[in-house]
Structure 1
């Protein structure tokens, strides 16, 4: 039982460390060959949007909207990938509930 408690405490520490790393991470998504760049936090929160002036065409706002949306999706995918990378080994090593035998 004591071994199980030590293992659970170690997992808690690993999860806390992974969460801290995620909170501090900034990921970038781009679209249109870099015409639109979106930066998100590891939590997925959008931090900034940068639009190259070449992407701005008053006659074609829809394309710009699509590029912004694509860049946001790209950045969100990067955040998800990082979350799985950081949290996957921690959660996966403990069985279904994070503990052996569950």
Structure 2
């Protein structure tokens, strides 16, 4: 009589290994700093992979008291760019791991 069932210990070991890899990838993402930019680098926002803003740098040339709206748009653009870069980082680090789960990686950080 042949045993065609998968070895349960092997399955559990693979699941534990995948969990360890995912945790390591999450920690790497959270520790990574991303720089979002707008206006060809006139406004830069440095943030962690988890989305926490660490620094905002604004070139003095874009500070015009008569045109606050442009500065606001640049800040929003840099923030959006940073979040897009975080999404790319998450996909690079977690994408291959999530394929094994067949799932949505966004839920890991939401």
Q: TM-score, normalised by structure 2?
A: 0.83
Aligned to 1:78: 85
Aligned to 2:25: 18
Pairwise mapping of residues 32-47 of structure 1 onto structure 2 (< 5 A)? 32-47=39-54
| Match status 1:64 vs 2:71 | yes
Aligned to 1:92: 99
Contiguous gaps of at least 5 residues in structure 2 = 1-7, 105-110
How many residues align structurally?
A: 97
Quick one: distance in 2 between partners of 1:42 and 1:96? Answer: 20
What do residues 38-72 of structure 1 show as CA deviations (whole Å, max 9, x unaligned)? Answer: 11100111111100000100100000000000000
Alignment root-mean-square deviation, CA: 1.3
Q: Secondary structure at the residue paired with 1:79?
A: helix
Largest Rg, 1 or 2: 2
Quick one: distance in 2 between partners of 1:48 and 1:96? Answer: 33
Quick one: distance in 2 between partners of 1:43 and 1:58? Answer: 33
Flag the 1:96–1:51 CA change in 2: closer, same or farther, 3 A: closer
Quick one: distance in 1 between partners of 2:44 and 2:35? Answer: 7
